Structure 1
Amino acid sequence: MSTANLTRAETAERSRAIEVLGYRVELDVLGAVDPEVGTFATTTTVEFTANTSTTWLDFLGAGVESVTVNGASMPVDYDGARIALTGLRESNVVTVAARGEYSRSGEGLHRFLDPADDRTYLYTQYEPADARRVFACFEQPDLKAPFTFVVTAPQEWEVISNQQVAERGDTAGGQVVTFEPTLPISTYITAIVAGPYHRVDSEWSGGDLTIPLGVLCRASLAQYLDADTIFEITRQGLGFFAEGFDYPYPFGKYDQVFVPEYNLGAMENPGCVTFTEAYVFRGAATESQYEGRANTILHEMAHMWFGDLVTMVWWDDLWLKESFADYMGALANAEATRWTDAWVAFANRRKAWAYLQDQLPTTHPIVADIVDLEAAKLNFDGITYAKGASVLKQLVAYAGREAFFEGARRYFRAHAFGNTTLTDLLTELSATSGRDLTSWARAWLQTTGVSALSLERDADGRAAIVQTDPRPHRLGVGRYDFDPAGDLVCVQRIEVDLADARTPIDVDEAPLVVLNDADLTYAKVRLDERSLSTVEQSLDRVRDPLTRGLIWSSLWNTTRDSELGAQRYLSMAQRFSAAEPHLTLLTSVLANAPYAIEHYLPETARGAARREWLDHAWGALWDAPPASGSQLAWARAVAAAAEVDDSRADDIRSMLDTDGKAPAGLSLDPDLRWALRGALAATGHADMADLDGELRRDDTGSGRTAYLRATYSRPDPDVKAKAWDAIFHDRTLSNDHLGAIIAGFRSGARHDLVAGYAADYFATIRSVWETRSIEIARRIVVGLFPADTSLDAADGWRDANADAPAALNRLVLEQRDHLARDLRAQAFNSRPDVTG
C-alpha cells in the first residue's frame, strides 16, 4: 500500500503517541502569478509532546528541503508522502521547509487563471486529507491544534484564512499577512484563500456577540454577486443555530468565498467557508436554485458546531458531521428563511440520492467501517449525507424535538474542541430523551438497505402495511379525498409505529392513501393500485407540495425498480409536468424523464420517446409564463433533450442567431446559450465556427469549460479519438476541463462512436488509479465507464484485478450495478404486458 494512503490503525497509534500543541505555517505564493512557476515555499513549525522517539509528518509535494528537530538539523528522510522524524523527546519543536505544488485538480492549493481579466486566484481544499499538499502536518482529524498562518502574497491581493488578520507588513514585491491563531481545529478544515477577490462586508449581532461577515468572489463575477441575499440567509442561520444549540458561534468571523473549479458544493472551513462559484448565478436562476444555495449555506454553517467545534475521531464517524449538517441545513432553511417548504426539496432531491446509493452492492452503514483514506474519500456519499439526515429526522420524531436539541447542547458543552464517536452522542441523546437508543442505533445507523412500504388488503378488506427489510418506523398514513373544488386533500392522518414485516392498520378506503405522509421516516413508498390509478388521472389535483413530492418520488423509485413501466411514468411526466408549480419537483421530473428514456427503455423505443419528450418540452417552453422559473427550467430541458434528438435543431439555431425568435421573457444568458449550442454540436448541427463564435461572446472561465464540452460533443470519430487522448495524456487539464471533455465524449445519441473504447477503458483504469490523484482518477473511472458494454466485461476486469485498490474496485462495482439495473429495466419494459 502506498504510504500516501493513511490507515485508521496507524493514525490511531500515532494519536496515542503524540499530542499536538500548535502549528505555525508560512506560505510564499508571490510567484503564483507566473504560470511557469509550479511550486511555492512552505515552512511548518509544529510543537508537540511525544511518548515515542519516532513518528512521521505527512506531506505531498515537490520536495522537502530541510528538517530541524529540537534545534538540530536532521537528514531528510522523505518517501514522497511521509517525513520521518527521529530523536524525539517528551517536548518537541520540528520545522520542515519544503516546496508545495500548485494544484489543477482542486486538491490542495488550487490555482486558477481567469481568462476574463488574466488575474490569478488561489484557494485551498483539503477534505479528507489534502492539507499535506500545502504544508507538512499530522494529517488526521483527531490531532487538533491551534494554527497560525503567515502568507506572503502580491501586494494587491485579498488574503484570508480561518482567523482575522493580526498583522500586515510589506516585503519585496508583496505583503506578508500574519493571522491570529485559530482555536484548536483539525488540519482538513484549515484554509487559505488569496487573490484579487471582490469583497463585500457586513456583520451579524446576537446577544453580546458581533460577528464580522464577508462575501467574496472573483472580480470578473462581481456584477453577479447578490451579497445582500447571502448575508440575509447567513444572519438568519447564525441566529437559528446560536439559539437552538445554546452555544455562541465560536470562530470569530464568518467569510464565505465563491471559488472557481471547485470539486464540491462547499466546505465548512471555520471562519472561511468556500463554495462553488456555480452559486454565483450569471443569468436567470430558478427559485429551486436559490433554495438549494440557501440550503448549502446553512448546511456549512451547521458544521461550525457539528464537525468543527466537535469533530469525529476518524472517518468512520463522518456521519457525526455530515448527517447532522444535512438535517440541520434543511431544518434551518424551513424554519428560519423564506423557504418554508424546504422539506419538499429534501424529500424529493436529497432522499433520491440516498435511495440510489443504498441500493448499490457497495452500500454501507451510516456508521461505516473506514479503514483508510481512499475509503474515506468515497464515503462522502448519499448514505453519509442524505440517508443519515433522513434517519435523524426519524430520530427527532421518535425521541422528540426538544430532547434532540437538548442532547445536542449537552454534546457541544461536553466535547467542545474535542473529538467524538457514536457512543458520545448517543450517551447525551439517551439521557435527554429518556430512551435507550442502542437498539435504535443498531437498526438505523449500523445496518444497510432501504425498506419498501406498501399497503395491502386481504379478501375481507382488512389493511396492513407491509415492509421489506423491516425496521422500526414512526410515520404518518394520510387518507386523501376530493374536496368540493375537486382537489385531493388530506382528510385523515394516522400515526403508526412499525417494527415488523406486516403491521395491521385501521384505514378506510380512500381514492389516495399515502404512506409516510409528511415524510417522517426513510423508506421507499409504493402506491396501492387504487391510489396509483387516482394519481395517474389527478396528480395535479394534489395541492400539498410535500405530498406531491412523495408521490413523484414513489413513481420514480417504482420505475427504477422495474415495478412501474417506464412508458407509464413518462406518460404521467408529460401529463403533469407542465402544470407542476413547485420548481424543485419540476426540476426532478425534467431530469428523471430523459434518464428513463436513455436507460430504462429498450433501444428500439428510444427514438420515438426522445422526439415525443423534446416536442413536449418545446411546447411547455412556449406555454410557460414569460420570465418565470418554469420557463427557464423548460428551456434547459429543451437543451438536454435536443442533445439526443435533432428535430428542433433549426428552431434552436434560430433562437440563438435571430433576435426575437426566443419565447417572450426568456433570457438567453451565457449558460443557457452554451447548453443550446452544445446540443446542436452533439447532433452535428454546430461546427467549430459556431462554437468559436459563442466563445467570443463568452470568453470566461465558464465559457471555456462549456466550449470544451461542446467541442468534444461533436459526432465525429476523430473528435472522440482526440477527446480520449486528451483525457488520458494531457496532464495540464484542470479538474473542470477534464470533466468537460469527458462529458463531451459521452454526450449525444451516437453511442456507436464511443462503444469501441470499452476494451481500452478496462485496460487503462488501474494505471490511472495508480498514477493520478484520487479526484482526477475518480472522474475518469466513473465518467468513462462504458454504458454500452456487457456485464461480462466489467466482471472480467474485476476477476482479473481482485488485488486492485478497494476504492477503485468499489467504483467499478457501482458502475456495473447501474448497468445491470438498466439492463433489467430494459428487459422489463420490453415485455408486452408492460409496453402494451
Structure 2
Amino acid sequence: MVDTLERYAPNENLRRDEAAWRAENITWHSAEVQLDLTNATQFSATSYTSVTTLNFSSACTETFIDFIHESVEEVLVNGTAIDLSAAVLDSRIYLDNLLTDAPNTVTVTGHALYSRSGEGLHRFVDPQDGETYLYTQFEPSEARRVFACFEQPDLKTSYRFTLTGPSGWHLASNQPIVDEVFHDNGTKTVTCSPTPPISSYITAVLAGPYHVERGEHIQELPDGEQLVIELAATCRASLAEHFDGPEILDLTSRGLNYFHELFDYPYPWGKYDSAFVPEYNLGAMENPGLVTFTERYVFTSHATEGQYEQRGNTLMHEMAHMWFGDLVTMKWWDDLWLKESFADYIGTLANDEATDFTTAWTTFAARRKAWAYVADQMPTTHPIVADIPDLLAADQNFDGITYAKGASVLKQLAAFVGADAFRDAARSYFRKHAYSNTSLEDFLQALETASGRDMRQWADAWLKTSGVPKLKVTYSTDDQGIITQAQLSQFGTDPVTGQPIVRPHVLSVGAYTLRDGQLVRTGSSQVELVTESVALDFLVGHKVPDLILPNDGDETYALIEFDPMSRTTLLENLSGLSDSLPRATCWASLWDAVRSATLDAQSYVEALLAHAHTVTDAGVFGVLTDQLVTSISKYVAPELRAELRSSAADVLTGWLTKFEPGSDQQTTTARTLTRLARAGVAGEVIEAFLGQQPNEYQVTVDEQLLWNSYIALAAAGKLDTEAETKMHEAAKQNPTSIALNAVRTALAARPIPEVKENAFDTVLMARDEKGELSNDALSATALGFAMGSSSLLAPFEPRFWAAILPVFETMSMEFSTRVIEGLYPGHQDLDGSIEQNQALAAASAWLEENAQAPTALKRILLEERDELERSLNAQAFSRTSR
C-alpha cells in the first residue's frame, strides 16, 4: 500500500497499490465533462477543448487526477488557480492543500488529442464522402485521454456530458439529451442527463453525421409498471444502404426481454443505443446506454449465418454487461473475469435461448473454446483470477482465458450447482451490490447461499489454477473383445505451479457405433469426475465402441486425448457424426493434437478435405476452412506443402460447384480459395473471380471476395501492370475503407524486396508518405508485408529485434502491439533441426538479454515465440510421419 503520494514520470501506468491508496482516500460525488468538437472536420486540428469539473471528498490533503493531454490551460481547486508547473507532471495533475472537512471542486481546462489508434476519442474521415466521425473507446484506462478523471474502476461517480459540434451532427453519450441549443455559427450544444454512478472506462461519446434508426422497447415489470427504453442503432451515412437497423433493434428488444426475466432486475440505464463505428479495436464495448460495435458487423458483402450468429452473440454479450460489469463492477482488473467470463457465458446462453440462432453453443465450442485452449497453453497462461499489478498488465489481460476459458468454466459451474442456483445467485448479487464494486469473494458468497454448496474448493480448483485438463478413457477387454473395466481420467500439469491438474467436472460420456457410415450414439452416461479418475460402468459388458467421446455435451472445459480406435474412427468417418455439438468437440480436440504435434498436420488436412464439406453449421465450417489454410501454411512440413496446397485447391474448387450458388458454404469456400491462392495455386479461379461476371463457378463476387482476389494475385506475384491498374480503378469507383485498406495489403504483399522494404518501414514508423497511419491502415500494411516466404522476409529480422523496444516505449499500447505482432517473423520453414532456426534463437536471445524490458512487451514476444515453436514442432512431426 502507498504510504505517501509519490510523484514521478512517466506515470501513465497506474499501479494497483496507487489505485488502492486513492480509493481509500477519495469519495467521488460527480463529474461535469464539456467537450467542444467543432474543429473535428479540420483535419489539421490535432486537439479539442476539454473541460472537466470534479466534485469529491478527500481524507487527505493531496491526491492526483489522470489526464493524458496536449495541453493544460488552467486548474482551479475550490475556485483558486494553481501553479501548473508544479501540478502537471506527465499524465497526472497533482493536487495539494485539499479540504478534508468538506467536498472539493476541481476544474481542469485543457486540450485533449484526437486519436488515430482507436484509443480515446478516435477520428475517422470517410473516404467515400469525406465526412468526419468520432467515437470513444476507453477500456481499460483511456477516458483520461479525453477528460480529467480518477481513472480506476472502483471510483465510480455520476457523469454529465455537454457536447458541442456541427449542428447537423448526431451527438450522444450514455444518457438521453435533456437540452439542445443551436448557435449562429452553425454549431449546437447538447447536454445529457447525469448518469447513475459508473466507472470512467464505460463512459462514452459519439459525434458525427451518423445514420440513426430508432425504436422502443416496453417492458412490463413485476409490480405492473411499464419500463420504456428508447432504442437507437447508428452507423456511418455511407453504410446506411447496407445497415439492417430493424434487425439490430429487434435483437436488442429480444435480449432485454430475456435478461429482465433472467436477472429480475430492471435495465437501469435509461436508453439503449447501439453504435457501429469504423476502425474499432474491439468487437464491441459495453458502455451503458451507448454500446459501441465494430462496423464489420455492418455487412457490405454476403454474410453467412455464422457471421450473423457471431454478431448476435456479441450483442447479447454486451447486453449482459449492463448488469455484469456496469451495474456491478470489479474493484480492480484482477477480477476482470467477473464481467467478461459472465458476459461470454450468459451472452451465448441468451443467443441460444432468446434468438433464432440454433448453433450458438456449437460455435462456442468450435471458436471461443478453441481460443481459450490456445491461450491456456501459452507460457503466459494465468489463472482466471489473475494477478494484475498495473494498467499495462490489465491491457493485455483481455485474452482467451479471461473471456472464453472463464465462460467455459461458468458453463461447468452451472452444471455443477444447477442452473436455478446459478440464476438465483446472480439475482441476489445484483440486488446487494448494485452501483458498487466487488471481488471474487462477493460472488462466491452469493453462490454458496443459492446452492448450499461450499464454493471455495471449486474456486480454488478452477479459478486459481492454470492449464488445460485433458480427458482420456482407458479400458480392458476379455478374449472376446468385451470391456471388463473402463475409466475416465483427467490429467495435465499446471504450467504455473507444476502441480497436477485435478478439477471437479460434471460431464457426459458418449459411446458411438459406426452404422452405414453414420456414427450413432449407442450409450451415454453423466458422470461426476472429482478426483483423477472415475469408473465408466455403462461401457462394461459391451464391445469396444467405434468412438468413445468424453465431454459429449461439451459441458466442461477440457481437451480429449482419444484412444487409438476412436481417433482412427474420427479421421476416417467425421462426416458420420451428425450431431453438431459433439462433432465440434471432436474437431477441436483433433486440431489441438495438430498444434501439440501429436497428430501430423497432413492427416488432419486430409480429414478436412474428406469431411469438412458435410458440416452445415456456417460458423464451424468457417473455423474448419481457417484451420485448413493454417495447417498447410504453418504446420505441414515445407516439402509437403505444394502438393497438399494443390490438392486442397482442387478439392475446394470442386466444392464451389457442389454447393448451392450463393450459399454460406460456397461463399466461405470461395474466400478460402483466395487465401490458398496467395501461394500460386487456383490461379484460374482467381482469374474467374476478377474476370467477366457471372463466372463459370456461379460465385457472386462481392466486395470482400473481389479484394481477397486482388490480394491473392499480388501475393502470388501476378499483379502485373494491367491488373494493378484495374485494382486502383475499382478502389476509385468505390472508395470504401475496406477497399483502400485492401489496396494497402495487396501492394505490400507483392514478393519484391523493395516492396517489402517500404512496407516494413511504413509499419515500423506507423507512417507513410501521406502522414500518420490509422490503426487499421497500419494492420493492413503489416498483413501484406507478412505475405512472403521466410527467405524473402529474413533480411528484416535483425532490424525487427533492434526496433521493438523503442517502438514499445514510444507508441501507444494499441499501436506498439500491432507493429510488433505484425512484423514478428512468425512464419518459418523448418530447415534442419528446430534448434537451428534463427528466428526462434533470436527470440530467445532477445528475451534473455532484455530481462528488464516491460512485462507487457515480454508477454507479446513470449506468445509469438511459443506459436513459432509450436509450428516448427508440428512441421518436424509432420516430416517424421510421412
Q: Quick check: 1:277 aligned with 2:285?
A: no
Distance (Å, rounded) in 1 between the aligned partners of 2:681 and 2:358 = 41
The one of 785, 810, 813 equivalent to 1:771 is 810
SS where residue 13 of structure 2 aligns? coil
SS where residue 810 of structure 1 aligns? helix
**Counterpart residue number, 1:680:** 713
SS where residue 749 of structure 2 aligns? coil
**Counterpart residue number, 1:487:** 518
**Counterpart residue number, 2:498:** none
Distance (Å, rounded) in 2 between the aligned partners of 1:428 and 1:782 = 41
Q: Is the 8 A contact 2:272 2:289 kept in 1?
A: yes
SS where residue 879 of structure 2 aligns? coil
Distance (Å, rounded) in 2 between the aligned partners of 1:299 and 1:659 = 40
Distance (Å, rounded) in 2 between the aligned partners of 1:466 and 1:399 = 22
Instruction: Tell me by how many angstroms 1:503 deviates.
Output: 2.6
The one of 688, 692, 699 equivalent to 1:654 is 688
Q: Is the 8 A contact 1:360 1:817 kept in 2?
A: yes
Residues 273-312 of structure 1: CA distance to partner in whole angstroms, max 9, x if unpaired?
0000000000211000000000000000000000000000
**Counterpart residue number, 2:129:** 117
Structure 1 stretches (4+) deviating beyond 3 angstroms? 458-461
SS where residue 610 of structure 1 aligns? helix
Instruction: Tell me by how many angstroms 1:382 deviates.
Output: 0.1
Instruction: Tell me by how many angstroms 1:602 deviates.
Output: 1.6
**Counterpart residue number, 1:752:** 791
Match of 1:175, as an amino acid?
A: K
The one of 432, 453, 462 equivalent to 2:471 is 453
SS where residue 74 of structure 2 aligns? strand
Q: Quick check: 1:5 aligned with 2:10?
A: no
**Range with greater deviation from structure 2 (593-602 or 63-72):** 593-602
Instruction: Tell me by how many angstroms 1:488 deviates.
Output: 2.2
Q: Quick check: 1:515 aligned with 2:515?
A: no
Q: Is the 8 A contact 2:571 2:604 kept in 1?
A: no
Instruction: Tell me by how many angstroms 1:455 deviates.
Output: 1.1
**Counterpart residue number, 1:696:** 732
**Counterpart residue number, 1:477:** 509
Q: Is the 8 A contact 1:670 1:698 kept in 2?
A: no
Distance (Å, rounded) in 2 between the aligned partners of 1:392 and 1:130 = 29
The one of 536, 539, 552 equivalent to 1:505 is 536
Residues 199-234 of structure 1: CA distance to partner in whole angstroms, max 9, x if unpaired?
000011110111111000000000000112112211
**Counterpart residue number, 1:816:** 865
Q: Quick check: 1:420 aligned with 2:438?
A: yes
**Counterpart residue number, 1:549:** 584
Distance (Å, rounded) in 2 between the aligned partners of 1:651 and 1:434 = 62
**Range with greater deviation from structure 2 (492-501 or 219-228):** 492-501
Distance (Å, rounded) in 1 between the aligned partners of 2:474 and 2:10 = 54
Distance (Å, rounded) in 2 between the aligned partners of 1:602 and 1:730 = 34
**Range with greater deviation from structure 2 (42-51 or 585-594):** 585-594
**Counterpart residue number, 2:832:** none
Instruction: Tell me by how many angstroms 1:658 deviates.
Output: 1.3
**Counterpart residue number, 1:325:** 343
SS where residue 128 of structure 2 aligns? coil
* TM-score of the superposed pair, with normalisation by structure 2: 0.93
Q: Is the 8 A contact 1:691 1:710 kept in 2?
A: no
Q: Quick check: 1:174 aligned with 2:195?
A: no
**Counterpart residue number, 1:797:** 846
Q: Is the 8 A contact 1:354 1:383 kept in 2?
A: yes
Distance (Å, rounded) in 1 between the aligned partners of 2:867 and 2:182 = 56
Match of 1:322, as an amino acid?
A: E
Instruction: Tell me by how many angstroms 1:394 deviates.
Output: 0.3
Residues 462-506 of structure 1: CA distance to partner in whole angstroms, max 9, x if unpaired?
2121221322111100112346x7532323220111123333222
Instruction: Tell me by how many angstroms 1:689 deviates.
Output: 1.8
Instruction: Tell me by how many angstroms 1:459 deviates.
Output: 5.6
For structure 1, the 5+ residue unaligned runs are none
Q: Quick check: 1:204 aligned with 2:217?
A: yes
Q: Quick check: 1:146 aligned with 2:140?
A: no
Residues 594-639 of structure 1: CA distance to partner in whole angstroms, max 9, x if unpaired?
1111211121111212222222222212221111110101011111
The one of 348, 353, 363 equivalent to 1:335 is 353
Distance (Å, rounded) in 2 between the aligned partners of 1:631 and 1:281 = 17
Distance (Å, rounded) in 2 between the aligned partners of 1:755 and 1:456 = 47
**Counterpart residue number, 1:630:** 665
Q: Is the 8 A contact 1:655 1:661 kept in 2?
A: yes
Distance (Å, rounded) in 2 between the aligned partners of 1:61 and 1:631 = 50
Aligned runs of 1:279-294 on 2, under 5 Å? 279-294=297-312
Distance (Å, rounded) in 2 between the aligned partners of 1:590 and 1:650 = 20
Distance (Å, rounded) in 1 between the aligned partners of 2:77 and 2:324 = 35
**Counterpart residue number, 2:27:** 19
Instruction: Tell me by how many angstroms 1:393 deviates.
Output: 0.3
**Counterpart residue number, 1:742:** 782
SS where residue 162 of structure 2 aligns? strand
Q: Is the 8 A contact 2:508 2:525 kept in 1?
A: yes
Residues 747-788 of structure 1: CA distance to partner in whole angstroms, max 9, x if unpaired?
14x222211111111111000000000000011111211123
Aligned runs of 1:593-604 on 2, under 5 Å? 593-604=628-639
The one of 153, 172, 180 equivalent to 1:160 is 172
Query: Alpha carbon RMSD of aligned pairs, Å?
Result: 1.2
The one of 224, 231, 234 equivalent to 1:213 is 231
Q: Is the 8 A contact 2:30 2:56 kept in 1?
A: yes
Instruction: Tell me by how many angstroms 1:717 deviates.
Output: 0.7
Q: Is the 8 A contact 1:63 1:80 kept in 2?
A: no
Q: Is the 8 A contact 2:760 2:823 kept in 1?
A: no
For structure 2, the 5+ residue unaligned runs are 1-8, 221-225, 492-500, 829-837
Q: Is the 8 A contact 2:629 2:672 kept in 1?
A: no
Distance (Å, rounded) in 1 between the aligned partners of 2:571 and 2:843 = 38
Q: Is the 8 A contact 2:325 2:339 kept in 1?
A: yes
SS where residue 556 of structure 2 aligns? coil
SS where residue 413 of structure 1 aligns? helix
Instruction: Tell me by how many angstroms 1:25 deviates.
Output: 0.3
Residues 779-836 of structure 1: CA distance to partner in whole angstroms, max 9, x if unpaired?
11112111234321011101111110000011111111111111211111111xx22x
Residues 638-659 of structure 1: CA distance to partner in whole angstroms, max 9, x if unpaired?
1111112x23224312321212
Q: Is the 8 A contact 1:391 1:521 kept in 2?
A: yes
**Counterpart residue number, 1:393:** 411
The one of 685, 703, 716 equivalent to 1:670 is 703
Q: Is the 8 A contact 2:284 2:292 kept in 1?
A: yes
Instruction: Tell me by how many angstroms 1:730 deviates.
Output: 4.0
Distance (Å, rounded) in 2 between the aligned partners of 1:779 and 1:827 = 29
Distance (Å, rounded) in 1 between the aligned partners of 2:502 and 2:59 = 49
Q: Is the 8 A contact 1:348 1:588 kept in 2?
A: yes
Match of 1:248, as an amino acid?
A: P
Distance (Å, rounded) in 1 between the aligned partners of 2:681 and 2:521 = 43
Distance (Å, rounded) in 2 between the aligned partners of 1:531 and 1:800 = 46
Aligned runs of 1:521-532 on 2, under 5 Å? 521-532=556-567
How many percent identity over aligned positions? 45
Aligned runs of 1:125-136 on 2, under 5 Å? 125-136=137-148
Match of 1:243, as an amino acid?
A: E
SS where residue 39 of structure 2 aligns? helix
Residues 124-181 of structure 1: CA distance to partner in whole angstroms, max 9, x if unpaired?
0000000000001000000000000000100000001100001000233300010000
SS where residue 553 of structure 1 aligns? helix
SS where residue 551 of structure 2 aligns? strand
Match of 1:333, as an amino acid?
A: N
